[in-house]
Amino acid sequence: MHKTTKRIPLILAGMLAATAAWAEKTASGSVIKDPAAGWDHLWREVIIDITIIGILFALMTAYFIWKYRRRPGNEVGNGPKLSAAAAVAWVVIPTFVFLSDDLYVAANGWQLWNNYREVPADRLEIQLETGMYSFDYTYPNGVRTQNELKVPAGKPVLLRMTSRDTLHNHFIPDFRVKEDSMPGRVTYLWFLPKEVGKEHVVTCASYCGVMHSYMASKIVVLAPEEFRAWYDQEGSKQGGSIKTVAENKAATASKS
Amino acid sequence: MNLKEWIFTTDHKRVGVLYLIGSIAAFAVAGILALLMRAELSTVGPTITANPTNYNVWLYGHGAMMILGFQIPALTGFFANYCIPLMIGAKDVAFPRVNALSVWLFYVGIILALLTFVMPDPPDVMWTGYPPYSTITTGNTAMYTFTVLILGFASIIGGVNFLTTVAYMRAPGLTWNKLNIFVWCTLGAFVLQLIFVPVLGTAVTLISLDKYLGTHFFDPTQGGDVLTYQNLFWFYSHPAVYVIFLPFIGVIYEIVATFSRNRVFNYKMVVYGGVFGVVALSGEVWVHHLYVSGMADWLRIGQMITTLMISVPVGLLVIGLVGTLYKGSISFETPMLYALGVLFLFLIGGLTGIPLAVTSLTVHLARTYYVVGHFHYVMAVAGTFAIFAGVYYWFPKVTGRMYNEFWGKVGFWITFIGTNLVFWTMMDIGVKGMPRRYYDYSHFSQFEGAHQLMTLGAVILGVGFVIAVLNWIIGAARGPKAPDNPWNSNSLEWSTVSPPPHGNWPVPPSVGADWYPYGAAKK
Ligand code: HEM
Ligand SMILES: [Cu+2]
Ligand SMILES: [Cu+2]
């Protein structure tokens, strides 16, 4: 993304005194900002925001319904006939209130979005080809796996995705991330595996055909040394496929 | 009453009633499909069918029939046809025969949609029909294309008709600023239909060309692009949710004003801020359906902002509605209960849409049950409640008889409870990762209990709807005679007898300078 597009949300957020707290926290410590943590944070904020608005409206409505119910002495409505100034104010003020809430949410959302789309340079880069109905991964050294992706803890993982038939979607609920894969384009997503020994469900989230709901995979997080051992061993076992990686790379380069 | 008279009728009221009957039939079929889906999902793994294609066909049928066969025709077919000429004091619509043609086309569309269930290889492309799947499936994509084209065409000619009618046939003295809110809302919806339906028509035609005639619009190996379809589709189908939303909120305005015996709060804000604002913004937000489709990053971020901005005109519409309760004299007959139900459902649906507008939050939420829960709240059930509210409200006018108030309220509460059980639960498991369009959720078996709760809720909600429809049928056949203006409304449709004769009034009405469609009727 361009520098300016990165700066605008910061300015907006600053204007509204709403710089995302999670971004500050991580900026001091490690350099990698985890989008999944950012997601959880922003989600909580937005839920609080909409809950407050919802409760305000609901309480006001409930109050009116009770207060102005029809009963002896209140047989006809007597709503105000607004003056021109009041009528305009009732447009301008709510518009301003809603717009500032929108901008606040948008600014935070935009920052997190940049986080989702900017992949740390030090990363493990995997080619993913989807097909009815499997996820086929290729590691940089040519190792291929199907419906299972072993990754080292603590290292960002980037998937470059394409599809050989219909639309599919590599959805990892635990990492709060998904993106479509499709023929003719290369899309990407990244995530930060953390917990050693943990398995994360991957599921297809775009309707791709009859067996769509059975299309699944998993991400297995290994300790870095454990991963290295597995990776080298598989690499020499599947050595013949190095060529395919080069092909793969060439193919992606020409498409993008 | 003979059948031939009804089929060849050009009376806008009969055309409207034909639309209502057809759309309620579509609702019944699509509702049964929903129950079949819920039954299938009541256990992990195959439950009532071992073939995923059956589920996929039900889901296709449910989505397509609910939107194209039920809600759009009920709102822009029944309500617009029945109410607009009456509300503006006209004898009929501008082009009565064109109107008859539109309802015939609508029935052809409904019949095509129903054939889905008796033909071999029915469409299984979901109501969105995304390629490449829709161009390679063994299911019958052409059926999808033709159904959409015919229903779209019916709607376009309806649109031309109503814009002309309102522009040229208003009663003497009935200026633009005295139009019922419902009329404004419906005009907005028809403007959207006229602009956007052709785009949908193009999109669905191109997939059939690709599939059957060997073109390559969406085939990247030959220079096509799969994303083009998604853009075309949502370029129509997002505005389509406002084609549903605008008339339904219009119906709710009529009801809330009448049962509060009150003027509409800040009429000009509602019309020029709310309705115009929605129409103006509706074409600039479609990319929020493509947040995880591989669109260019700048487009996704740009349309996050336009999408969030929709909250402004929609917020004004909600303020107008709540403001109309202020200092009212509110009573709670069945139509009003449904209307207040809509306010509540729409509040939940609208607010839960805010996270979905935020591109980065949608990276997790898209394509899960959260989305399904959200859009049922905001459009599907809010719209359905509004349709039920409106049918109850105009029931005495349409049939000349009264429905049963007690069973009306019972039906409302049962549906309302069931609805929240189903769709709240959907949002809950969606946030936890449950993907939509799943025949079998064996790798999300932790949600089995929640799915069972939803199946129970769907049955409860269905019972409520059945009570309501029975109430109408029995009321229409042998309810007590209704007075001409049972709700004591000022609006013109109540100024004629119930049911109105062909031509509506013996002498067409005219209105004075201080007349206004809302507020208690002056005796
Ligand atoms: C009346 C009770 C209803 C129930 C119990 C119900 C239930 C469901 C269920 C279970 C799904 C499928 C979830 C999935 O597998 O992804 C669904 C999808 C859908 N429903 Fe409903 N629904 C109801 C009413 C409506 C109404 C009134 C509409 C009107 C617009 C509607 C429109 C849709 C649409 C558009 C879809 C998405 C179809 C797709 O994914 O292609 N539903 N509904
Ligand atoms: Cu899939
Ligand atoms: Cu939309």
Q: How far apart are CA B123 and CA B143, in angstroms?
A: 7
| pLDDT tens column, B81-92 | 999 999 999 999
**How large is the ipTM?**
0.92
B217: helix, strand or coil: coil
Q: Is the CB of B125 under 6 A from ligand 1?
A: no
Strand partners, A124: A157
The mean pLDDT value for B312-324 works out to 95
Q: Is the CB of B204 under 6 A from ligand 1?
A: no
B71 touches chain A (CB under 8 A): no
- Residue A151 CA from chain centroid, whole number: 20
Residue whose CA is at the smallest distance from ligand 1 atom 25: B380
Provide the mean pLDDT of chain B.
94
- Ranking A89-93, A248-252, B216-220 by mean pLDDT, the lowest is A248-252
| pLDDT tens column, B13-38 | 999 999 999 999 999 999 999 999 99
Give the position, in ligand 1's atom list, of the atom nearest the Cα of B383: 27
B44 touches chain A (CB under 8 A): no
Q: How far apart are CA B302 and CA B312, in angstroms?
A: 17
What does the block give as tokens for B159? 């649109």
Residue A9 lies inside a defined structural domain of this protein: no
**Are B297 and A1 a contacting pair at CB < 8 A?**
yes
H helices within chain A, ranges in order? 3-15, 21-28, 35-67, 84-117, 224-237, 242-255
User: In chain B, positions 137-176, which contact chain A (CB-CB < 8 Å)?
Assistant: 137
Instruction: Assess whether pLDDT exceeds 90 at residue A1.
Output: no
Q: How far apart are CA A45 and CA A209, in angstroms?
A: 37
What does the block give as tokens for A91? 């447009």
Q: How far apart are CA A194 and CA A30, in angstroms?
A: 13
Q: How far is the CA of A166 from the centre of ligand 2 (A)?
A: 9
Q: How far is the CA of B307 from the centre of ligand 1 (A)?
A: 23
Question: Could you count the other beta carbons within 10 Å of the beta carbon of residue A10?
Answer: 15
Residue of B nearest to A167 (CA): B132
Q: For residue B343, list chain A residues with Cβ-Cβ distance below 8 A.
A: 61
Q: Which ligand is nearest to the CA of B372?
A: 1
pLDDT at B347: 96
Q: For residue B351, list chain A residues with Cβ-Cβ distance below 8 A.
A: 50, 53-54
Q: Is the CB of B349 under 6 A from ligand 1?
A: no
A230 Cβ neighbours under 8 A, 6+ residues apart? A150, A222
Please give the tally of structural domains in chain A: 2
Question: Could you count the other beta carbons within 10 Å of the beta carbon of residue B481?
Answer: 10
Q: How far apart are CA A97 and CA A88, in angstroms?
A: 14
Report in angstroms the alpha-carbon separations of B255 from B87, B360, B425, B503.
Answer: 14, 39, 30, 25
User: Do A166 and A217 belong to one domain?
Assistant: yes
- Which burial class, exposed, middle or buried, applies to B192 when counting CB atoms under 10 A from its CB (0-12, 13-18, 19+)? buried
Sign of CA pseudo-dihedral B172, B186, B420, B19: positive
Instruction: Assess whether pLDDT exceeds 80 at residue A14.
Output: no
Residue A245 lies inside a defined structural domain of this protein: no
Question: What is the CATH classification number for the domain harbouring A159?
Answer: 2.60.40.420
Residue A21 lies inside a defined structural domain of this protein: no
- For A69, list phi and psi in degrees, rounded to 5: -65, 155
B296 touches chain A (CB under 8 A): no
Cα distance from B386 to chain A (closest Cα, Å)? 18
H helices within B214-287, ranges in order? 226-260, 267-268, 276-281
User: Do A201 and A166 belong to one domain?
Assistant: yes
Q: How far apart are CA A43 and CA B207, in angstroms?
A: 37
Smallest Cα–Cα separation from B245: which of B342, B106, B125, B151?
B342
Q: Is the CB of B374 under 6 A from ligand 1?
A: no
Smallest Cα–Cα separation from B253: which of B183, B174, B165?
B183
Q: How far apart are CA B192 and CA B126, in angstroms?
A: 23
The mean pLDDT value for B116-131 works out to 91
Q: Which ligand is nearest to the CA of B24?
A: 1
Residue B319: which of A46, A74, A94 has the nearest Cβ? A94
| pLDDT tens column, B183-199 | 999 999 999 999 999 99
Residue A60 lies inside a defined structural domain of this protein: no
Full DSSP string of B405-472: HHHHHHHHHHHHHHHHHHHHHHHHHHHTT-BSS-S--GGGGGGHHHHHHHHHHHHHHHHHHHHHHHHH
Smallest Cα–Cα separation from B333: which of B376, B383, B389, B278?
B389
In this prediction, what percent of chain A has a pLDDT beyond 70? 81
Q: How far apart are CA B325 and CA B266, in angstroms?
A: 12
B223: helix, strand or coil: coil
Q: For residue B268, list chain A residues with Cβ-Cβ distance below 8 A.
A: 87
Domain B16-495 in this protein, CATH class? mainly alpha
Instruction: Assess whether pLDDT exceeds 90 at residue B508.
Output: no
Instruction: Indicate the pLDDT class of residue A96, thresholds 50, 70 and 90.
Output: very high
Report in angstroms the alpha-carbon separations of B376 from A33, A58, A120, B350.
Answer: 35, 19, 39, 11
Residue numbers of the domain that contains A213: 124-240
Instruction: Assess whether pLDDT exceeds 60 at residue A137.
Output: yes
B388 Cβ neighbours under 8 A, 6+ residues apart? B338, B412, B465, B468
Residue A194 lies inside a defined structural domain of this protein: yes
Residue A249 lies inside a defined structural domain of this protein: no
Instruction: Indicate the pLDDT class of residue B7, thresholds 50, 70 and 90.
Output: confident
B292: helix, strand or coil: coil
Question: Could you count the other beta carbons within 10 Å of the beta carbon of residue A99?
Answer: 16
What does the block give as tokens for B102? 């539109």
User: Do A186 and A103 belong to one domain?
Assistant: no
- For A187, list phi and psi in degrees, rounded to 5: -115, 170
For chain B, helix (H) and strand (E) counts, in that order, are 20, 0
pLDDT at A8: 52
Q: Where are the domains of chain B?
A: 16-495
Instruction: Assess whether pLDDT exceeds 90 at residue B522.
Output: no
pLDDT at B37: 97
| pLDDT tens column, B217-260 | 999 999 999 999 999 999 999 999 999 999 999 999 999 999 99
pLDDT at A23: 42
Q: How far apart are CA B88 and CA A7, in angstroms?
A: 53
The mean pLDDT value for A33-58 works out to 95
Q: How far apart are CA B112 and CA A197, in angstroms?
A: 54
Q: How far apart are CA A66 and CA B230, in angstroms?
A: 47
Query: Buried (b) or exposed (e) across B63-82, using 16+ Cβ within 10 A?
Result: bbbbbbbbbbbbbbbbbbbb
Helices B334-357 and B226-260, interaxial angle, to 10°? 140
B126: helix, strand or coil: coil
**Are A213 and B52 a contacting pair at CB < 8 A?**
yes
User: Do A102 and A135 belong to one domain?
Assistant: no
Residue A224 lies inside a defined structural domain of this protein: yes
Question: For the CA atoms of B313, B317, B320, B324, what is the dihedral angle to 10 degrees?
Answer: 180
pLDDT at A21: 39
Instruction: Indicate the pLDDT class of residue B523, thresholds 50, 70 and 90.
Output: very low
Q: Is the CB of B31 under 6 A from ligand 1?
A: yes
User: Do A111 and A191 belong to one domain?
Assistant: no
B263 touches chain A (CB under 8 A): yes
Instruction: Indicate the pLDDT class of residue A166, thresholds 50, 70 and 90.
Output: very high
B352-B353-B359 Cα angle (round to 5): 120
Residue type, B112: L
Q: Which ligand is nearest to the CA of B435?
A: 1
- Which burial class, exposed, middle or buried, applies to B177 when counting CB atoms under 10 A from its CB (0-12, 13-18, 19+)? exposed
Residue A247 lies inside a defined structural domain of this protein: no
* Cβ pair B285, B307 in contact under 8 A: yes
- For A222, list phi and psi in degrees, rounded to 5: -110, 160
Residue of B nearest to A113 (CA): B360
